[in-house]
A and B are shown apart, each in its own frame.
Chain A
Amino acid sequence: MSLEYVLTVVGMGVVTYIPRWFPLFFLSRRRLPHWLVEWLDFIPVSILSALVLPGLVTGGEPRHVVFFQPELIVAVPTLLCAWKTRSLAGTVLCGMSLYWLVGKVML
Chain B
Amino acid sequence: MSQSPALRHNNVISILKEGIAGGWPICLGYFPIGIAFGVIAQKAGFTPVEVAFMSLVVFAGSAQFIGVSMLAAGAGIVPVVMTTFMVNLRHVLMSSSLSLHLGNMPRGWLSLFAYGVTDESFALNSVRFRGSSWDWRRALVLNHTANGAWIASTVAGGVCGGFIPAGAFGIDYALTAMFLCLIVFQVRGGLYVVIAFISGGVAVVLSLIMPGNAPVITASMFAATAGMIIKKMRSSREGDAAS
User: Bound pair: A and B?
Assistant: yes
Q: Which residues of A contact B (CB under 8 A)?
A: 1, 4-13, 15-17, 19-25, 27-29, 32, 35, 37-58, 63-65, 71, 74-75, 78-79, 81-83, 86, 88-89, 91-92, 94-101, 103
Contact, CB under 8 Å: B110 / A28: yes
Contacts of B201 in A (CB 8 A): 53
CB pair A91 B202 closer than 8 Å: no
Given A44-B126, A53-B203, A58-B208, are A12 and B176 also a contact pair (CB < 8 Å)? no
Nearest chain B residue, comparing its CB with the CB of A57: B204
Q: Chain B residues with Cβ under 8 A from A94's Cβ?
A: 177
The answer to whether A48 and B105 touch across the interface, beta carbons within 8 angstroms, is no
Rank and list the top 4 A-B pairs by shortest CB-CB distance, nearest first.
A95-B177, A100-B170, A53-B200, A46-B220
Main secondary structure on chain B at its contact with chain A? helix
Complex Cα spacing A79 to B89, Å: 29
Which of chain B's residues 185-243 have a Cβ closer than 8 Å to chain A? Answer: 185-187, 192, 195-204, 207-208, 215-216, 219-221, 223-225, 227-228, 231
Question: Shortest CB–CB separation between residue B116 and chain A, in angstroms?
Answer: 8
Asked if residues A78 and B95 are in contact (CB atoms below 8 Å), the reply is: no
User: What residue in chain A is nearest B210 (Cβ atoms)?
Assistant: A63
Most buried by A among B181, B184, B225: B181
10 contacts between A and B (CB under 8 A): A8-B71, A22-B92, A24-B98, A24-B102, A40-B96, A47-B93, A47-B94, A49-B199, A96-B171, A96-B173
Q: Which of B9-17, B79-87, B151-159 contacts A (4 or more CB under 8 A)?
A: B79-87
A12-B58, A53-B200, A92-B178 known; A99+B84 contact, CB < 8 A? no
- Tell me whether B77 and A11 are in contact (CB under 8 A): yes
Q: By the criterion of a CB under 8 Å from any partner CB, how many residues of chain B are at the interface? A: 93
Closest to B87 in A: A16
- Complex CA gap A22/B114 in Å reads 8
Which residues in A have their C-beta under 8 angstroms from that of B71? 5, 8
Return A105 CB to nearest CB of chain B, in Å.
Answer: 12
Cross-chain contact A39 with B50 (CB below 8 angstroms): no
Question: Min CB distance, B150 to chain A, in Å?
Answer: 13
Q: Is the CB of B219 within 8 A of A4?
A: no
CB-CB contacts below 8 Å: B16-61 with A? 24-25, 28-29, 47, 49-50, 53-54, 57-60
Complex Cα distance, B80 from A89, in Å, reads 37
Q: Give B166 Cβ to nearest chain A Cβ, in Å.
A: 11
B residues within 8 A CB of A86? 185
Q: Are B207 and A63 in contact (CB under 8 A)?
A: yes
* A25 and B107 within 8 A (CB): yes
